[in-house]
Every structure is written in structure tokens, then in C-alpha cells.
Amino acid sequence: AMDIDIYHVIIGYLLQALGMLLFALGVRRKPDINTNKRYFVFILIAEAAVITAAMLSKWDVLSFGLAFVMNLMHGMVAGFYLTLLSSYVQQQYRGRVFGFGYAFGSVGSWILSMPFGGNFLKMDGIVIVYIFLIGITLLMTSKLSNDNSMSYDTSSRNNDKPSVLVYIFVVLVLLSLVKNIGFYFPASDISGVINLEFSRAFYAVGLIAAGIISDMNRRYGAICCVAALAFSFFSFALNSNPGFSVVVWILGYVFFGFFSVYRVVVFSDIASKKASLLPLAAFGLMAGRIGDSFGTICGVLLSEKIIPLILITSGLFVLVIFMFFPLYNKLYSATMTESERKELQYEDFEKKYTLSRRESEVFRLVVQGLSNLEISGALYVSESTIKYHVGNILKKAGCSNRNELTLRFRSN
């Protein structure tokens, strides 16, 4: 039964990845999918129907098959919300939005399941809970304004070349592969010291911290992501010391939050560069799911063969390090063109004074010397709206007029 459950998880991971790929192909063919709420409503309603049928079915074979369809639809939903993340959320807030949201979902489902022994899927009334949560999601999605169309960041640094994108994808697959194999390392039994279900709380802390730190500087998030892979080795080295193992176990789950956030934001940032890249928004999580599946397969096959398990994982870990740092230098190199330096100057100023998306668009045109009338024509909004945004920008920056704002920006 345990083997069936494990391979069910493996196939589920791959089907989620397939669901994200199908959604990406849909975005490529019909770019308005991410802004047309009817598509999302259809996916969620279909998912609710499949979940209901799977939970209420009295035939194991049918439930088994519907569970696979459910994973496929989970992948499509993930593709949709990660595309929204790239479309609606500015880069300096993207890590926090994902980290806080994922943390809330992780801890929330655990809290809901506590009265039922910690098993969310087997709790009484699960179908009603699912439908209720889907209803809330639909309600919140309906509140999204279509005015929040994408403002593409053109400072891509040539990271959208196919060869670079494939390289990033492979690195993320390997990161997930090593992380999952590490779960099969021998470790001290700490179940008597701490409740393993409580790992969600530490993971949530890591997600929140990762979101904040990644938004401060993507470099820090990237380094912490790689550091997370080392905790399996620490746990194995401290196998005979349960006290230290608990500390390492807690830190490991915290750092896994950085892993989860980074693999999402790296492709989400790329997808926000221009419309043709938007289908890539979910490729980070897709790579993670593929790595999760193959990592689980390797872990199951090698779990009784400790030495090969350690040697193979160590070799993959070294490979990841050698592949990751050239990628790190490519993504976060200090060498920038003049346009890239200008873009970074804009982003720093906008982040410092917490300008909204529309305020950022207006601000950039103001410091270029355009009048309110010219800006209204460029952005296709009324002149009174531009005056309103300019007033807000001056207030946030503590400037009395446009000239002072321009001087402050240039001296920033």
C-alpha cells in the first residue's frame, strides 16, 4: 500500500507539471487567458467537480483515476495563479506575495485538519471545504481589475535566450532532484521530540522570510536556495545526536522555504519581461515538480542502499553547485549596460518610495521631462488622472514640484 501511495505521488507530480505545461501552451495560443476570468472560473469549477467525484466515489479504481485528473487540474490552476503573479505583481513584491500566500495555504490547511488527525484529505466534509475555498478564490479573482495590465520590464540582460532558459530549467530540476533525494537520508528519530506535522509551521516561516529577503535582493534568495540542499548532509552527519538533529531539521524546513520561493520567482521575473515570455511564468514550479518526481523515484530505489544513496546525491550536489554559479553570474552579474543601470536606478527609486505600478509609469515619464498632457496621451488616461498620480508621487517622495523630483532621482 505504501509503494502504491509513493508512486501515486510521483505520477501526481508529473501530472501537475503537465497541467502547467498545458496552461502555458494555452497562454501562448490565447494570450488573454490570464486576464479573461472566464477561463479561470471554468478551470476551478471543473476542478471542484473532479474533486467532488473523487471524494464521493465508492469505486477505488475510479477514485484513483480521478485523483490523476485532479493533479492535472491542480497544475493548470498553479499555471494560472503564477501567470497572474507575473502579470499583476511588480518584481519588488513578487517574492512576498508568493511566500506569504503559500505560507498561509500551508498552515491554513494544517490548522483545518488538526481536529481530524492532521490528514486534510481525509477530514469529514472535505468536499464542502474544497468547494468553499474555491468559491472564495473565484470571489477574490473577480475583484482583480483589468486595468492592472502588464507593464513589461525590458531590462532583460539577454536572459530570454532559449539556451539560457533551458539551462535555468535544468538547474531547477536538479535542485529539486537533490532536495527530494535528501529526504531519504538516514536521520535520527525525532518524532518523540517534536511533532513532524508541525514542520508546516517552520516551512511557513521560511516561506515568509524567503519572500521578504528575495524581494530585498534576489542574490540572497538564490544563495539561501542552494544552502537548503546541505541540510540533508548535516542531518546525516548528526544522525547519532537527536538534539542537534532537531535543530538541523528545523533550520532545514526554514531554508526549504527559500528553495520554494526562488524556483518560482526566477521564472516569474523572466516571464514579466515581455508578452512573448508570459507562458513561462509557471516553468519554475514545473521544473520543481519534475525534479520532485525523479528525486522521489531515486530515493525509493536507493533508500535501502545507503552508500550509493550518499555517493549519488553528493555527486549531484556537486554538479548543481558547478551549474548554479555560472547561472548566478549570468542572472545577477554586476556588469550592466547603460540601459540596465538606468532601469535599476528607476527600480531603486520606485521601491524606496513605494510607488504603485501606475505611479511608476507616470514617474518615469515625469523625470524624462514630459508634461501631464503628454503623459496622458502616452498612457491613454485623462490628464486629471495624471495630475492625481503626480501629486501622490510628489507626496511620497517629499518633493514640492517636478523639478525637485527629477533632481532627487538623478542624485539617487
pLDDT tens per residue across span 75-85: 998 998 898 88
- What residues contact 183, with CB distance under 8 A and at least 6 apart? 232, 295, 299
Query: What pLDDT sits at residue 148?
Result: 44
- Cα distances from 184 to residues 51, 197, 296, 302, 399, in angstroms, run 30, 17, 9, 8, 58
The rounded distance, in Å, linking the Cα atoms of 169 and 172 is 5
* Residue where a domain stops, chosen among 332, 364, 380: 332
The answer to whether residues 212 and 358 belong to one domain is no
User: For the residues 43-57, what does the mean pLDDT come to?
Assistant: 77
The rounded distance, in Å, linking the Cα atoms of 162 and 16 is 23
Helical residues (DSSP H) of 228-371, grouped into ranges: 231-237, 242-271, 283-302, 306-332, 338-352, 357-366
Please tell me which residue, 159 or 58, carries the higher pLDDT value. Answer: 58
The answer to whether residues 216 and 131 belong to one domain is yes
The reported pTM is 0.72
The answer to whether residues 236 and 305 belong to one domain is yes
User: For the residues 371-389, what does the mean pLDDT come to?
Assistant: 91
DSSP single-letter state for residue 276: G
The answer to whether residues 24 and 103 belong to one domain is yes
The answer to whether residues 287 and 356 belong to one domain is no
Q: Is residue 109 part of a domain?
A: yes
Query: What pLDDT sits at residue 187?
Result: 61
Q: Each residue of 278-302: pLDDT tens digit?
A: 899 999 999 999 999 999 888 888 8
CATH classification at residue 32: 1.20.1250.20
Query: What pLDDT sits at residue 1?
Result: 44
The answer to whether residues 133 and 244 belong to one domain is yes
The answer to whether residues 118 and 213 belong to one domain is yes
The grid coordinates listed for 292 are 520532485
User: For the residues 124-132, what does the mean pLDDT come to?
Assistant: 67
Domain holding 381, by residue range, is 338-410
User: For the residues 226-246, what does the mean pLDDT come to?
Assistant: 75
The answer to whether residues 211 and 359 belong to one domain is no
Q: Is residue 155 part of a domain?
A: no
Q: Is residue 301 part of a domain?
A: yes
For 385, how many CA atoms within 13 A lie in the half-sphere containing its CB?
13
The answer to whether residues 267 and 206 belong to one domain is yes
The answer to whether residues 165 and 58 belong to one domain is yes
Q: Each residue of 92-101: pLDDT tens digit?
A: 889 999 999 8
Query: What pLDDT sits at residue 151?
Result: 47
Please tell me which residue, 133 or 393, carries the higher pLDDT value. Answer: 393
